[in-house]
Amino acid sequence: MPQLSAGHSLCRLVKIVALMMNDKPALTTIVQQNVRIVLKTLLKLKKLTLVKNKQITNCEDQINGIFKKLHSENDADKSNFIKECLGLIESGDCDLQEARYVFEDICKMIVPAKPEYEYYLHLQKARSNEEFIPGRITKNPHSSKSFGGKTMGDVRLKICRDCDIGEPEMLELLVAGKIVTMNLPINAVYEQVWWPSQYKAKHPDSYEVPPIEQGMKEDRSLINSMVIIFRLAGMDGEATEDRVESLQ
């Protein structure tokens, strides 16, 4: 028998609403006219931290799915949703914790999180270091998501393992002729160091570099594997390349 304390009844009710929207699109209008009710339901579910279990979590996920349909890419739906959110706060029907959740939803809608793209990296030993660095890199290129982390330091650790280098601090990594520091995110280096160099090489007369999202639409050939040159620090004498220590 379903247990109220376990959230079975709540889960069944949410499933019914979700099925109504999936199987009968005309009923979506009914839900859109009751955005505030759906919003308040989600806020209450978010607060069930003390009794949250698999059933409650599933309900929250389904309500979130309904929300996404209510504020789709349609500007009118987004506008209506934001008005309902602000109206709920102004009405005093939600406490401070619930108001925080509402503002988080509004912010995510106005400034959505930037998608994390998958890029590919080609790891290459500096020619001048061939005799000094043992081992070699295999299976190029490598996915940006395959390093067990998101920074250039994780890339360096991969190189050290493959080339049997015991002290990672000995290695320098260069991208587009610039030394990059290890705390930089891989994707940020691709988008702000590698991508501009590729675009300028093909469009030398261009004064501005478009966002990489635009480049993906206009010329996919420029979205190629980022070449990362690694070498032993000081082996070629004092480094003269520019150093990239921070990115936006």
Q: Is the dihedral of CA 235, 238, 240, 243 positive or negative?
A: positive
Amino acid 155: pLDDT: 95
Q: Which of 1-5, 44-48, 115-119, 120-124 has the lowest mean pLDDT?
A: 1-5
Sign, CA dihedral 127-133-138-141, equals: negative
| Helix-then-strand count for the chain, H and E | 10, 6
CA 235: distance to chain centroid?
Answer: 37
Give the pLDDT score at 2: 45
Find which of 7-21, 64-78, 161-175 is predicted with most confidence, using mean pLDDT. Answer: 161-175
How many beta carbons lie within 10 A of that of residue 92, not counting itself? 8
Q: What share of the chain in percent tops pLDDT 70?
A: 82
Q: What is the pLDDT of residue 7?
A: 65
- Distance separating alpha carbons of residues 4 and 92, to the nearest angstrom: 29
* Span 184-232, pLDDT tens digits: 999 999 999 999 999 998 888 888 888 888 877 777 777 899 999 999 9
When pLDDT is cut at 50, 70 and 90, the band that residue 20 belongs to is low
Using DSSP, state whether 139 is helix, strand or coil: coil
Question: Backbone phi, then psi, for 117, in 5-degree steps?
Answer: -80, 160
- Average model confidence (pLDDT) for the chain? 81
pLDDT at 29: 61
Q: How many residues does the chain have?
A: 248
CA distances from 184 to 42, 65, 125, 181, 187 (A): 37, 34, 20, 6, 9
Q: List, for residues 156-174, the tens digit of each pLDDT value.
A: 999 999 988 888 898 999 9
Tell me, what's the pLDDT at 124?
94
Rg (CA), the chain: 26
Q: CA–CA separation, 168 vs 223, rounded Å?
A: 29
Query: What distance in Å separates the CA atoms of residue 175 and residue 184, rounded to the nearest whole number?
Result: 12
* pTM for this model (two decimals): 0.64
Model pLDDT for residues 83-136, shown as the tens digit of each residue: 878 888 888 877 888 888 788 878 887 887 777 889 999 999 999 898 888 888
CA distance 184 to 121: 15
Given a contact cutoff of 8 angstroms between Cβ atoms, the answer to whether 247 and 184 are in contact is yes
Q: What one-letter code names the amino acid at 236?
A: D
